[in-house]
Structure 1
Amino acid sequence: MSFSGHTQKSSKRPFPVEHIMPPQVLRNNYLHVLEEKQKLQLKKFLLDRMFLVAKTKENIEKKDVTDYYEHLFQTISKQYVSEAVTGLLLIYRTFILHILESSSSTLYSILLDYINHKKKRGEYFIKGMKIVVVSHNIPTRIFMQWHVIVIKVPVMYLDDVTQSQSLREIVTEFLTQTHKLALYFFKTLKVGAKGPSENLYQPAPELLLPEQIIKYLYKSEEFLEPEIFINMYNRPIHITFDTEVVWPAPSRF
């Protein structure tokens, strides 16, 4: 007696597992979205913007400062593949305001260069520096190139407003005026232009920050020196959640 029906039933093979699995959907993480956004904006890296105030030796020469920073920018660009530096350097009598836009690695290298000069205790035109603001992943630049301007302001213009305003009000005015000045540059200067005349007080006096504000921000303890900022930047982050804390502490037998 033959059981042909049973033989045919047992000859059937199960379907492969991959045939019954649902199709996989590709999921992008947030980093991938940011990278694609940078490609569309023709940027190689995420852009950061940094506002620095520094004390300098009195009446420094513009050419010396310009040559130094241009050489520094070129050296960094040869060492790392990064974004070009744009921004504005305003040179007052004994202080400077420096706005820098580039990738984080470039700004990091600029701060390290200052720290190295400070450790050597050699001849250097910057006597001290404070970081006012660092903005990460800015959507676009507010400066098309890097400009250096020596500020020559009449004495009557130097009204000290730091005695009647709080730090919050001064920082707000500082950021507002610098962005207005950047907008003025954007509207009046073409790409490749050398910049406005040496005496910026004549075409746009209402946009200039008094040197007392730069001095006030430099002396404020709320803002970090580059050494402290770099140490915080390099410090690993260890976060302990409440769920990880057990008391009494577990012990092995």
Structure 2
Amino acid sequence: MYFSGHTQKVSQRPYESHLTPQVPRSNYFHIQEEKQRLQLKKFLLHRIFLVANITARIEKKDLAQYYEHAFQSILKHHLGEAVTGLLLMYPTSILHILETSSGTLYRILLDYVGHEKNEKEFFIQGMKIIVVSHNIPTRIFIQWQVSIVKVPVMYLDDLTQSRSLEEVVTEFLTQTHKLALYLCKTVKVSTKGPGDNLHQVVPELLPPEQIIKYLCKSEEFMDPEAFLDMYNKPIHVTLDSEVVWPAPSVF
């Protein structure tokens, strides 16, 4: 009896497996996982805020061509993420926001340092790095674009005289982030950009040029050359296994 019952139990297994549906199943969680996997980039993204002085005779097209040529040359010879961001061109200064991978960003700064050292009158001078945001979750800008800010040279109220550096930088970053979010909502893909009338459309979101000039003169911020020197400097870390007690002494 025991033998026959065991035989019947074994014989039902292939019959049961044959009736089991083989249709692949999925759920919303798996769909979201696949969506996130497809959106992952090969390189981490970083965002940097730069300010600099420019010569009065430089034109918008020349400045744009310089950066576009640099971007294309870097991405042609080195793997990295495409560059997105915004270049605000004031009469004698610029505000530049860049979003890209660390390797591409490194070579953009290196290209500037090379021009600054080798050319006596390079049209971009006194560049300072205000802040670098590492491993940003997503881009704010859909493309890289240039806009001219037409503002008067003289200001009735100089904000840099009555506020501390921390207050000036806080307001500066608040304005630029709000401006970036505004452009993200209004500027469409494959368009020429926001145009040259931002000073009329959203004047409250544009940092005054006096703030840009003030940040360029501030010694608290690094220039690209000092930043690259720190970037290339090796980091020495002492592990616990390397510490010997008692400490060795020389007799």
CA contact (8 A) 1:151 1:200 kept: yes
Q: Distance in 1 between matches of 2:177 and 2:113?
A: 28
- Structure 2 unaligned segments of length 5 or more: list them: 1-33
Using a 3 Å threshold, how does the CA distance of structure 1 residues 136 and 187 change in structure 2: closer, same or farther? Answer: same
Indicate the structure with greater helix content.
2
1:244 aligns with 2:240: no
Summarize the alignment of residues 62-211 of structure 1 with structure 2, pairs less than 5 Å apart. Answer: 62-154=60-152, 159-211=157-209
TM-score, normalised on structure 1? 0.79
Letter in 2 for 1:97: L
- Structure 1 unaligned segments of length 5 or more: list them: 1-35
Q: Provide the residue aligned with 1:20 in structure 2.
A: none
Q: Distance in 1 between matches of 2:107 and 2:141?
A: 20
Q: Select 1:57's aligned residue among 46, 55, 62.
A: 55
CA contact (8 A) 1:59 1:93 kept: no
Deviations 1:155-195 (A, max 9, x none): 57663211111111111111110111011111111111101
CA contact (8 A) 1:158 1:210 kept: no
Q: Provide the residue aligned with 2:227 in structure 1.
A: 229
Q: Distance in 1 between matches of 2:230 and 2:36?
A: 27
Using a 3 Å threshold, how does the CA distance of structure 1 residues 158 and 50 change in structure 2: closer, same or farther? Answer: farther
What's the CA shift for 1:236? 0.7
Using a 3 Å threshold, how does the CA distance of structure 1 residues 110 and 249 change in structure 2: closer, same or farther? Answer: same
Give the 3-state SS of the residue equivalent to 2:99 in structure 1: strand
CA contact (8 A) 1:38 1:44 kept: no
Give the 3-state SS of the residue equivalent to 2:79 in structure 1: coil
Using a 3 Å threshold, how does the CA distance of structure 1 residues 188 and 64 change in structure 2: closer, same or farther? Answer: same
Letter in 2 for 1:177: Q
Aligned length: 217
- Percent identical pairs in the alignment equals 67
CA contact (8 A) 1:91 1:148 kept: yes
CA contact (8 A) 1:48 1:101 kept: yes
Q: Distance in 1 between matches of 2:156 and 2:64?
A: 26
Q: Distance in 1 between matches of 2:50 and 2:232?
A: 20
Q: Distance in 2 between matches of 1:182 and 1:160?
A: 24
What's the CA shift for 1:217? 1.0
Q: Which runs of 4+ in 1 moved over 3 A?
A: 36-40, 154-159, 240-243, 245-248
Q: Distance in 2 between matches of 1:142 and 1:163?
A: 32
Using a 3 Å threshold, how does the CA distance of structure 1 residues 105 and 207 change in structure 2: closer, same or farther? Answer: same
Letter in 2 for 1:167: L
Summarize the alignment of residues 209-220 of structure 1 with structure 2, pairs less than 5 Å apart. Answer: 209-220=207-218
Letter in 2 for 1:170: V
CA contact (8 A) 1:38 1:45 kept: no
Using a 3 Å threshold, how does the CA distance of structure 1 residues 37 and 235 change in structure 2: closer, same or farther? Answer: farther
Q: Distance in 2 between matches of 1:63 and 1:215?
A: 22
Letter in 1 for 2:203: P
CA contact (8 A) 1:159 1:210 kept: no
Give the 3-state SS of the residue equivalent to 2:238 in structure 1: coil
Give the 3-state SS of the residue equivalent to 1:138 in structure 2: coil
